[in-house]
A and B are shown apart, each in its own frame.
Chain A
Amino acid sequence: MSRPDPEALLAAFRADLAQAADPAALDEVRRVHTGKKSAVKAALKQLRDVPPEERKAVAASINAARKQMDTELAEASETVLAKARAARLDAEWADLSMPGVAPRRGARHPLTQVERHATSVLRQLGFSVVEGPEVEHPYYNFDALNIPEHHPARDMQDTFWVDGGWLLRSHTTTVQARVLQQRPAPPIRVASLGRVYRNEAVDATHTAMFHQMEGIWVDRGLTFAHLKGTLEVIARALYGDQPIRFKPKFYPYTEPSVGVDLQCSVCKGSGCEACHGAGWVTILGSGMIHPKVFLEFGYDPDEVSGIAFGFGTTRMAAQRAGVVKSRSLYEQDLRVHRHVHRGGEG
């Protein structure tokens, strides 16, 4: 019988370990050199053939070799696993320059976004939203609002007449008339919004259907100062801190009537093409509710007074969206909507 040779065992182990490049090969080295049928186990069995006085030293040498193998196996395992992980991670490389795949969200129409913003501002002042029909009786569109038949003020709103002598509402003030007809007790704070129709020539910035928003505030003791204060709050909430000015206007259902101008954001008031040289752009029409309107609905104008205001949300939406031709907001070209919402990304 030959004597166990720990050095030879270690040399053979190292030779195999050097060839092991993956976890499976390492396991094989472990099995062959340190497992149950390994050379180390065989060497330990050979100890009985070693003279007793040497046996202890040889056994220690074999165990030391075995221990060294375990150490080197652990080290090699760490290295091989690191390499394997690195290789796996490399294989799992993902090209994140590819387009994202999460479902894309849609968007409310720019007009609706403006309406929601304006509504939230008015809610802070205690206004509730009321709706009304689009096909209206002329009484609510005109007569109740101090616009009798054959009055020139009817020219201000070219009207679509429909069957039965009815019409498509030319302003959302009709809803205010319907509210007042119910004779609620003051304070009354209601806003109405929606589609209105004008029988006018259509071009890039004018459509036969567009959107308006209006509000009335009826109470005891409301004054011209309150009108101006309320208008300023609304204008600032919707347009920021750009200067505004008030000017006399005529609306049949208010007296006095007031227009609100916003200083032109392009020229800052010096006059430019955008504001037709005026330096100002009209954003709101308003006034104190006309005594005739109160009388029409049975309110005593000496007892109550009211603030009324309205603005075209179409124009506001176009301005906010940066859309020059507001008619495109009423076309269903999704390129426009995606561009407004996503800045051009599809």
Chain B
Amino acid sequence: MRIATDVLQRFIAAPTDQQALRHLLDDTGLEVKRVEHDGVSDVFTLELLANRGDHRCYEGVARELDGRLGVGIRVPAGTALQVGTSPWPLRCETALCSTYSATLLTRGEAQRALDAASLRLLAAAGIHSLGPAIDATNVANLELGQPTHAFDADTLVGAVTVRLSLAGESALPLFAEERVELPEGTLVIADDEKILAIAGVIGCEESKTTDATTRLLLESATFDPVAVRKASRSLGIYTDSSARFERGSDPERAIAGAGRVVELLEAAGWRREGDTGVVGAGPSTTGRVVTLSTSAASAFLDVDLQPAEIAGRLQRYGFDVRVDPADADRLLCAVPSWRLHDVEFAADLYEELAKSIGYNETPQGLPPVQLGAPPSDRELRRDKVEEVLLGMGFYEVFTDGFYGRDSVELLGIEADHPLHHHVQTLNALDRAYSMLKNNTLAQAVQAVAVNERRRVFDLKMYEWTHTFHPIDEVLPAQADPARPPCRERAVLWAMVSGNDRQRSWSGTARAADPLFLKGLVEELAVTLGLDLLVAAADEGHPLASCLHPNRQASVVLDGEVVGILGEVHPDIRDRAKLKRTVPVFLEIDAAALLARGSRPAYIEPSSFQPVVRSLAFTLPHRMEAGEVRSWLHASGPDDLASVEVVDLYDHGDGQRTLTYELVFRHEGAQVSADAVNAAVDKLVASVEEQFGHHGVKLR
């Protein structure tokens, strides 16, 4: 809302200094967003509070300032209208209009423009003059906050009726080029033939006033806030009038508002014809009294307030305050008609008192504070995960909770794929937000692509995020708190592409591959005390088809698959136009990672030297090193403490020679070389017997 200081001065003796006024406005909840000078005075653009419809006029702003200043306000009186026999047939067929008034005016011989002060008010608000009839309604609304509307009476046919629209009815709103069909049940004003206005929102072309209008029927009413809001939203029409009515208008202001319009028009050469007619369901909320405890208010604000002071402060805002005859501590505060929509509790009055004193003037202090709360186990474990990732050079990123069709297409997901179904957003402004993500891979690949386009090839990223998995059932028409549309899953994903460490002149970096991520999982397992294992690929995992079929594995905890890792499928890399990078991806259930782990019991290091032997076996194509390793470990004596792969030679024809390092150690005695040699001979024979027919042989 735009407020000109010269106009404001007509309503209240506000500070004339720009900074002082700006500070006062901010301090009373009328936040200044911009200050301009329009050649006459300063014009403040205010951001008004969403619940204070009464602020949307000069009178409301002045009253708010007076709550602090206590200097009194001046409000145009308007013509005192006589309510009596209606000058036009009126009907009200709905309870959604508490008051509907109609006043008939005819144009005199010498119609004049409104007075200069009124035109100044319009200009300061940025409203062009459109002739006395419309100008007068705009002025009254800006001054008093009561929207009114003028119909050309000569376009009306039969009675003016306040009613709900019927199925299939349409209207031609002002400034619209085509008729719009109204949702059934829209609150409208109609005559016997047509819709005259969408109540509280906008008038219609067929009954608008023009320069030729000689008789006008002036409407001033109180409409139901929800009915106006529904109509405005459904039609997409937002006006000053709808903004005012949506917030609840003053049920006692309809006649006074019309009176101000009549006063302005009479001064411009128009003449009232007869009384003002009124119909309507009558006010639904009047006479509210809120009880306020003086002692409670004093304690709340930490200010010693007396009943008289409270009464004085609240009266400036329009409250009628009396001491309860039965209890001197209790004040009975009658809520003014323009505040019926936002004042209901004592807390609402505390706010008025705080504003009157000044939010920055009341005392402040900390409540008694107990010892701080420690981080939860879950938070600590999350920190541990992050420390592992950060130590390996990962950067945390954030991706959106939703994506568009292109992300689904990137993964090549068809109708029969387990990731085909998504929870849909129903009203997204952007197609990129049309569905909630049910996987993290698509965005991770897109992130790699973004970086590759910017010539960043070596990257490590991770994110804690949620994926959303539709629940396959017919959802009820009305949202049921017990039946969400999806299962929400917290996950950690990590993506690596390029080298496994920063590119260096020393040439120590190697291309990141799934084994790098396997190492990450192993490190997480140690750090978290979890029995996390990287095991054979799980074909049933929803992301299995999106990773390289021969370069993927599952992450298992306590026998249950909790994640997947692997190289991004070449088809997806092609669709993402990845030319240089071969990203590898890991996703693990956050719940599994953050579950409580256990520390292995401490074992005193042995004082006896281990005996180490190496065995090199040549393995055929597609035979896993782990298979031989496991066999060696399982077949060895108790003294065989560990078996690890320490070297690899790739023959280039699919065969690989792997060197296994076998460490023999006994906790209570020195292991003899002879015993170890005998054990190694047995192990070699055992491997050859077990795997020889597959082509495994000792090198």
Interface residues of A in 233-250 (CB under 8 A from B): 233, 245-250
Q: A247-B27, A250-B52, A290-B347 are in contact. Are A333 and B450 (CB under 8 A)?
A: yes
Docked complex Cα distance between A333 and B455 (Å):
10
What distance in Å separates the Cβ of B429 from its nearest Cβ neighbour in chain A?
A: 6
Docked complex Cα distance between A245 and B345 (Å):
26
Q: A257 — which chain B residues lie within 8 A by C-beta? A: 351
Docked complex Cα distance between A208 and B446 (Å):
18
A208's closest neighbor in chain B, by CB? Answer: B433
Q: Which listed residue, B29, B247, B454, B477, touches A152 by the CB 8 Å rule?
A: B247
Q: A105-B390, A333-B454 are in contact. Are A248 and B229 (CB under 8 A)?
A: no
B398 & A329 in contact (Cβ 8 Å cutoff)? yes
Docked complex Cα distance between A82 and B586 (Å):
57
B478's closest neighbor in chain A, by CB? Answer: A165
Q: A219 — which chain B residues lie within 8 A by C-beta? A: 367
Interface residues of A in 118-176 (CB under 8 A from B): 123-129, 133-135, 137-140, 150, 152-153, 155-156, 159-166, 168
Q: Which of B206-214, B297-305, B555-563 lies at the interface?
A: B297-305
Q: Which listed residue, B31, B299, B428, B508, touches A223 by the CB 8 Å rule?
A: B299
B51 & A224 in contact (Cβ 8 Å cutoff)? no
What distance in Å separates the Cβ of B26 from its nearest Cβ neighbour in chain A?
A: 6
B26 & A162 in contact (Cβ 8 Å cutoff)? no
Produce 1/0 per residue, B436-454, CB < 8 A to A.
1000000100110011001
What distance in Å separates the Cβ of B280 from its nearest Cβ neighbour in chain A?
A: 21
Q: Which listed residue, B390, B426, B450, touches A162 by the CB 8 Å rule?
A: B426
Docked complex Cα distance between A226 and B398 (Å):
36
Interface residues of A in 259-284 (CB under 8 A from B): 259, 276-278, 280
Q: A123 — which chain B residues lie within 8 A by C-beta? A: 372-375
Q: Is A104 an interface residue (CB 8 A)?
A: yes
Q: Which listed residue, A225, A245, A256, touches B351 by the CB 8 Å rule?
A: A256
Q: A128-B376, A163-B475 are in contact. Are A226 and B401 (CB under 8 A)?
A: no
Q: Which listed residue, A106, A153, A159, A291, touches B345 by the CB 8 Å rule?
A: A291
Q: Is A44 an interface residue (CB 8 A)?
A: no
- Chain B contact-residue range equals 35 or more
Q: Is B285 an interface residue (CB 8 A)?
A: no
B390's closest neighbor in chain A, by CB? Answer: A106
Q: A106-B392, A332-B397 are in contact. Are A229 and B366 (CB under 8 A)?
A: yes
Q: Is B28 an interface residue (CB 8 A)?
A: yes
B430 & A111 in contact (Cβ 8 Å cutoff)? no
Q: A199-B427, A223-B300 are in contact. Are A255 and B345 (CB under 8 A)?
A: yes
A229 & B396 in contact (Cβ 8 Å cutoff)? no
Q: Is B636 an interface residue (CB 8 A)?
A: no
Q: A168 — which chain B residues lie within 8 A by C-beta? A: 401-402, 425, 436
Q: B433 — which chain A residues lie within 8 A by C-beta? A: 160, 199, 208
B390 & A229 in contact (Cβ 8 Å cutoff)? no
Produce 1/0 per residue, B228-258, CB < 8 A to A.
0110000000000000001100000000000
Q: A126-B373, A225-B301, A256-B347 are in contact. Are A276 and B400 (CB under 8 A)?
A: no
Docked complex Cα distance between A104 and B301 (Å):
54
Q: B450 — which chain A residues lie within 8 A by C-beta? A: 331-333
Q: B399 — which chain A residues lie within 8 A by C-beta? A: 330, 332
A209's closest neighbor in chain B, by CB? Answer: B400
What distance in Å separates the Cβ of B227 from its nearest Cβ neighbour in chain A?
A: 9
Q: Is B412 an interface residue (CB 8 A)?
A: no
What distance in Å separates the Cβ of A131 from its nearest Cβ neighbour in chain B?
A: 8
Docked complex Cα distance between A245 and B359 (Å):
8
Docked complex Cα distance between A264 and B427 (Å):
37
What distance in Å separates the Cβ of B20 from its nearest Cβ neighbour in chain A?
A: 13
Q: Is B416 an interface residue (CB 8 A)?
A: no
B433's closest neighbor in chain A, by CB? Answer: A208
Q: Is A180 an interface residue (CB 8 A)?
A: no
How many residues from A make CB contacts under 8 Å with B? Answer: 96
What distance in Å separates the Cβ of B578 from its nearest Cβ neighbour in chain A?
A: 14
What distance in Å separates the Cβ of A329 from its nearest Cβ neighbour in chain B?
A: 7
What distance in Å separates the Cβ of A135 from its nearest Cβ neighbour in chain B?
A: 6
Q: Is B663 an interface residue (CB 8 A)?
A: no
Q: A99 — which chain B residues lie within 8 A by C-beta? A: 504-505
B366 & A230 in contact (Cβ 8 Å cutoff)? yes
A181's closest neighbor in chain B, by CB? Answer: B481
A224 & B34 in contact (Cβ 8 Å cutoff)? no
Q: B505 — which chain A residues lie within 8 A by C-beta? A: 98-99
B238's closest neighbor in chain A, by CB? Answer: A155
Produce 1/0 per residue, A309-334, CB < 8 A to B.
00000000000000000000111111
Q: Is A30 an interface residue (CB 8 A)?
A: no
Q: A101-B508, A105-B391, A163-B423 are in contact. Are A126 and B370 (CB under 8 A)?
A: yes
Q: Is B35 an interface residue (CB 8 A)?
A: yes
Q: B302 — which chain A residues lie within 8 A by C-beta? A: 223-225
Q: Which listed residue, B299, B451, B470, B481, touches A137 by the CB 8 Å rule?
A: B481
What distance in Å separates the Cβ of A217 from its nearest Cβ neighbour in chain B?
A: 7
Q: Which of A17-25, A52-60, A69-77, A335-343 lies at the interface?
A: A335-343
Q: Which listed residue, B360, B386, B506, touches A101 by the CB 8 Å rule?
A: B506
Q: Which listed residue, B51, B459, B479, touches A166 by the CB 8 Å rule?
A: B479
15 intermolecular pairs with C-beta atoms under 8 Å apart: A125-B372, A135-B423, A135-B468, A150-B226, A152-B50, A159-B427, A163-B486, A165-B477, A201-B429, A208-B433, A223-B301, A247-B27, A248-B354, A249-B49, A288-B347
Q: Known contacts A125-B369, A150-B229, A228-B362; can you find 6 more A-B pairs with CB under 8 A? A: A134-B488, A163-B424, A209-B398, A223-B301, A250-B29, A250-B49
Q: Which 4 A-B pairs have the closest CB atoms?
A: A165-B479, A248-B29, A332-B447, A228-B364
User: Which B residues contact A (CB, under 8 angstroms)?
Assistant: 26-29, 31-35, 49-52, 225-226, 229-230, 246-247, 299-302, 345, 347-348, 350-351, 354-355, 359-360, 362-367, 369-376, 379, 386, 389-402, 423-430, 433, 436, 443, 446-447, 450-451, 454, 456, 459-461, 466, 468, 470, 475-481, 483-486, 488, 501-502, 504-506, 508
